[in-house]
């Protein structure tokens, strides 16, 4: 008889204890951990790699849950949502990515044997473990030849976690220097960085003030209280600069994009799925200054806000479905870049 390793995540202590008692009475469930918030749950899932997670709907509706959902996919963790009962006449809330979600909601009053039966059905298939698929051969390796002098800039918001995983999954270990701003809640930047790093061939690390970024390295600013700027040099130096939100965000995609203007002819930039307009003006300035610019197309976006704003400004050279963006970025970097006005100077 195989046991189902399970984490139960719910902020309501009384309901959590009620569910835990029923689960522990079963001979099929090993309840390894009880948690009350997303951050604790994320850490527990990352460390324990359970077969399944039972999580409160109110936690699953938080914007930061997309980082959690991507971790579930990476580890092949099955999950169920515990419904939140709506008041009479009140419609249930919806998250922007519901159309792509695999939410499977259950009533909190479901009998324990029925809940265990559902869990057994959910976890019956073999877990898909192992390393992620090898990157696609989209760009020639740099070994034995000169490296491209280009660099990549990415901005994303709602739905961006899955989008970044898709884009970065095709990057080779020696990819061009890559700089990312992803809107996410405070505290989830490190979790997202670890998730991307474990799934990608290149090294993914958090943006640190004064760090140098070379080929094979991807830096990400997410959930931080400073804007990510490029500060020139070779290898390229980054700076984290405090200040007010730009385009309503901290860190801001616009701040990253505009900081790259001195090296625009060498820049290859893309705006991915996201709500609002952050990054649109910066992408337009980059294109006007000679950068190569892309945006995710409407059909593949969870929220077609930022890419639409950029398209409407004339900032986008090419709109592409998500699976084609990574290969297009690498192909653009493989092409020679103008250097007469494209050299970023140290600042």
Q: Of these residues, 191, 247, 249, 278, which one is catalytic?
A: 278
| HEC string for 278-328 | CCHHHHHHHHHCCCEEEEECHHHCCCECHHHHHHHHCCCCEEECHHHHHHH
Rounded to the nearest 10 degrees, what angle do helices 189-199 and 160-168 cross at? Answer: 30
Q: Of these residues, 26, 157, 191, 247, which one is catalytic?
A: 157
| Element spanning 31, H or E | strand 29-35
Rounded to the nearest 10 degrees, what angle do helices 65-75 and 38-48 cross at? Answer: 10
- Known active-site residue 5: no
Beta strand 236-241 with 227-230: parallel, antiparallel or unpaired?
antiparallel
- Known active-site residue 157: yes
- Kindly report the number of other CB atoms within 10 A of residue 33's CB atom: 18
181 and 219 in contact (C-beta within 8 Å)? no
Tell me the residue ranges of DSSP E strands in 142-283.
151-156, 178-182, 203-206, 212-213, 217-221, 227-230, 236-241, 267-271
Q: Of these residues, 5, 148, 183, 249, which one is catalytic?
A: 183
The residues that bridge with 319 in the sheet, in sequence order, are 295
Residue carrying structure tokens 């994009």? 257
Kindly state the tokens that stand for 60.
């699953």
| Closest to 183 in 3D by CA, of 98, 66, 75, 74 | 66
- Known active-site residue 278: yes
Could you give the C-alpha distances from 332 to 19, 235, 289, 292, 325, in angstroms and in order? 53, 20, 16, 7, 10
Rounded distance between C-alpha atoms, residue 18 and residue 323, angstroms: 44
Catalytic machinery residues: 157, 183, 278
């Amino acid at each position: 008889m195989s046991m189902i390793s399970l984490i139960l995540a719910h902020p309501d202590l009384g309901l959590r204890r009620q569910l835990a008692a029923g689960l522990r009475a079963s001979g099929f469930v090993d309840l390894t951990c009880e948690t009350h918030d997303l951050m604790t749950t994320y850490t527990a899932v990352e460390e324990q790699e359970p077969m399944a997670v039972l999580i409160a709907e109110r936690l699953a509706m938080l914007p930061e849950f997309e980082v959690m959902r991507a971790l579930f996919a990476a580890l092949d963790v099955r999950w169920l949502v515990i419904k939140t009962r709506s008041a009479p006449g009140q419609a249930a809330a919806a998250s922007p990515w519901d159309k792509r979600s695999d939410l499977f909601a259950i009533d909190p009053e479901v009998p324990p044997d029925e809940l265990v039966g559902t869990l057994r059905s959910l976890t019956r298939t073999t877990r898909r473990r192992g390393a992620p698929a090898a990157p696609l051969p989209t760009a020639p390796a740099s070994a034995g030849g000169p490296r491209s002098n280009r660099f990549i800039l990415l901005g994303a918001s709602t739905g961006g976690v899955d989008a970044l995983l898709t884009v970065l999954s095709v990057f080779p270990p020696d990819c061009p220097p890559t700089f990312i701003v992803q809107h996410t809640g405070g505290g989830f930047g490190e979790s997202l960085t670890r998730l991307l790093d474990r799934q990608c061939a290149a090294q993914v690390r958090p943006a640190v003030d004064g760090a140098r970024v070379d080929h094979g390295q991807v830096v990400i600013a997410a959930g931080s209280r400073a804007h990510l700027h490029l500060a020139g040099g070779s290898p390229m130096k980054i700076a984290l600069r405090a200040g007010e939100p730009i385009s309503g965000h901290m860190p801001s995609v616009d701040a990253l994009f505009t900081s790259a203007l001195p090296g625009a002819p060498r820049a290859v930039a893309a705006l991915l799925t996201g709500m609002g307009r952050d990054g649109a003006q910066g992408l337009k300035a980059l294109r006007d200054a000679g950068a190569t610019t892309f945006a995710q197309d409407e059909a593949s976006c969870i929220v077609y806000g930022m890419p639409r704003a950029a398209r409407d400004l004339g900032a986008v050279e090419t709109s592409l479905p998500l699976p084609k963006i990574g290969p297009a970025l690498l192909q653009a970097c493989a092409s020679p870049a103008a250097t007469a006005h494209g050299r970023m100077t140290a600042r």
